């Protein structure tokens, strides 16, 4: 009961403000963590939840130059509070996105695909034919990694938890372009060697689980390879065998999209370059929105509950 649906006055439009009608906003794990207070970003309370979404510009203040009514916008940073029907925001808190992409793609663009894009680009220089291994491959980031890698000719080894509807999940990830899908248990099996007959061992491992899953991922990393941790869904530390450090000189790095945005707030070129690349992939049908369940804002309780269920393969999206 941390949540209430409230009617508020829409604030007056300042000179540099933009009045936005929100269209759709997803519920991400980090949104829940922020509400529980277990995330490094804390909004002053009372606060509006939601860090991601897409809206349409209704009206702009006289000094706003880059946006006009009818434009689509997404948050430039975390903490915007997207679970609302309308909002008035300073222009610099918004990024324009093309309105010729599907609304669900735009609504889920600013967090997961951006994270996937950066972790694939910023840590190892991967070339077509190289491979990447990742856990939680059916997460929002995981699905984006599969598709972005596929578009660049990079092979993916995708680790998922065993579950009742595993064949269905395998089918879905294969359709997105996953090259290999294995369960956590299979990471220890000799059959893993068969995978590396057709593709090289990965130079990059992407971890958003932690605990035992991470240790198993590292086992398959190439010498001098990099493991990037961008989440910790198992809420357990990353355990690294000493041998991996000494004999294989693996690198362990971390990534947080919020931090990247902070560091690149003055570097509009890399932000625009990333957004253009992602929108281009979306237009070409090479990057799709994750599997979504759409709910009206009134059903926010059901949406929040569903988003916290284990093995939830569908992202809850509030239609505003």
Q: Which residues are known catalytic residues? A: 39
- How many whole angstroms separate alpha carbon 143 and alpha carbon 130? 18
Contact 32, 307 (CB under 8 A): yes
Contacts 24+ apart (CB under 8 A), 66-73: 66/91, 66/96, 67/18, 67/91, 67/94, 67/96, 70/99, 71/96, 71/99, 72/23, 72/96, 72/97, 72/98, 72/99, 72/106, 73/18, 73/20, 73/97
| 243/240 Cα distance (integer angstroms) | 8
């Amino acid at each position: 009961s941390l949540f209430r649906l409230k009617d508020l006055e829409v604030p007056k439009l300042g000179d540099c403000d933009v009045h936005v009608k929100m269209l759709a906003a997803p519920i991400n794990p980090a949104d829940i963590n922020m509400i529980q207070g277990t995330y490094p970003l804390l909004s002053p309370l009372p606060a509006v939840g939601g860090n991601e979404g897409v809206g349409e510009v209704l009206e702009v203040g006289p000094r706003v130059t880059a946006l006009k009514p009818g434009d689509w916008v997404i948050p430039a940073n975390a903490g915007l509070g997207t679970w609302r029907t309308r909002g008035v925001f300073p222009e610099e808190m918004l990024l324009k996105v093309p309105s010729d992409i599907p609304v669900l793609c735009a609504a889920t663009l600013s967090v997961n695909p951006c994270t996937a894009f950066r972790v694939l680009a910023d840590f190892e220089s991967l070339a077509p034919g190289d491979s990447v291994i990742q856990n939680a491959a059916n997460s929002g980031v995981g699905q984006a990694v599969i598709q972005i890698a596929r578009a660049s000719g990079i092979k993916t080894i995708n680790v998922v938890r065993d579950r009742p509807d595993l064949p269905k999940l395998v089918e879905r990830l294969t359709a997105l372009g996953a090259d290999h899908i294995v369960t956590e248990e299979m990471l220890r099996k000799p059959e893993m060697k068969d995978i590396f007959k057709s593709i090289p061992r990965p130079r990059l491992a992407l971890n958003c689980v932690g605990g035992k899953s991470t240790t198993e991922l590292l086992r398959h990393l190439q010498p001098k390879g990099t493991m990037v941790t961008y989440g910790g869904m198992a809420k357990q530390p990353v355990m690294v065998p000493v041998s991996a450090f000494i004999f294989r000189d693996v690198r362990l790095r971390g990534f947080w999209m919020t931090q990247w945005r902070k560091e690149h707030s003055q570097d509009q070129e890399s932000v625009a370059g990333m957004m253009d690349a992602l929108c281009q992939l979306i237009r070409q049908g090479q990057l799709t929105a994750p599997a979504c369940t759409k709910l009206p804002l009134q059903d926010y309780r059901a949406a929040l509950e569903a988003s916290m269920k284990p093995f939830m393969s569908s992202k809850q999206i509030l239609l505003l």
